[in-house]
Amino acid sequence: MSDPFEKSKGRPSGAPFAPAELAAKVRRAVDEPAARREIRIRLEVEGGQHDERYHFLFSTAGSEEAEAGLRDRLRDVAIEPKRSKLARDDLTSLLKSVDVEGLVAASRVRLSIPPDSLVGRLRVGDGEQEVTVVFMADKEQARSAGYEPPPAVSQLVDRIYKLGAKTVGAKDVRPY
């Protein structure tokens, strides 16, 4: 007689996360436009006190198209999410900025983030595997709290802010 609970027992749903495999896919995507379809990059930054709320979103998923939007109460800016085609060089530069191993190391750091801080969530994946890094997005807040993002995070985030500004047609989208 079979066990009626056999089907509901927890089993791994896929292969374990393999940073080297994801890193290889990102490197391949730098040179092979067809391989770019698999790579997804998303940055969302939000937080701040009520009158200074900030929210930025950037994503690109498998193409040369990006979506970005910004709400910044401090600067009184509200740009609804817009889609835009990325220049091939911009996408190549973005992919070259991805250091999967560095992001994996940063993802393991557990933060105790103070209230009203700007919090960033950076995700890089291929549809099957994903690394997510949570970090303090305001450089001064991060420095004061002792949680400055490592270069793998800050360099990629800086590149994304530049592309996000281009996508929404703004001079700068960085917080404060």
CATH number at residue 34: 3.30.1560.10
Q: Do the domain assignments include residue 176?
A: no
Q: Do the domain assignments include residue 173?
A: no
Residue 22's SS3 state is helix
Asked if residue 48 has pLDDT above 60, the reply is yes
CB-CB contact of 151 with 101 (8 Å)? no
What local confidence, expressed as pLDDT, does residue 14 receive? 56
What local confidence, expressed as pLDDT, does residue 53 receive? 94
Asked if residue 143 has pLDDT above 80, the reply is yes
Asked if residue 18 has pLDDT above 50, the reply is yes
Cβ-proximal residues to 172 (8 Å cutoff; 6+ apart), any chain: 161, 165
Q: Do the domain assignments include residue 1?
A: no
pTM of the model: 0.87
Q: Do the domain assignments include residue 7?
A: no
Look up the domain containing 61 and give its range.
17-168
Q: Do the domain assignments include residue 174?
A: no
What local confidence, expressed as pLDDT, does residue 13 receive? 54
CB-CB contact of 160 with 43 (8 Å)? yes
pLDDT bin (cut points 50, 70, 90) of residue 4 is: very low
Quick one: which of 16, 15, 20 has its CA closest to 99?
20
How many separate domains does the chain show? 1
Q: Write out pLDDT tens, residues 50-64.
A: 889 999 999 998 778
What percentage of residues in the chain have a pLDDT greater than 70?
Answer: 91
Give the pair of three-digit tokens for residue 80.
């609804």
CB-CB contact of 32 with 41 (8 Å)? no
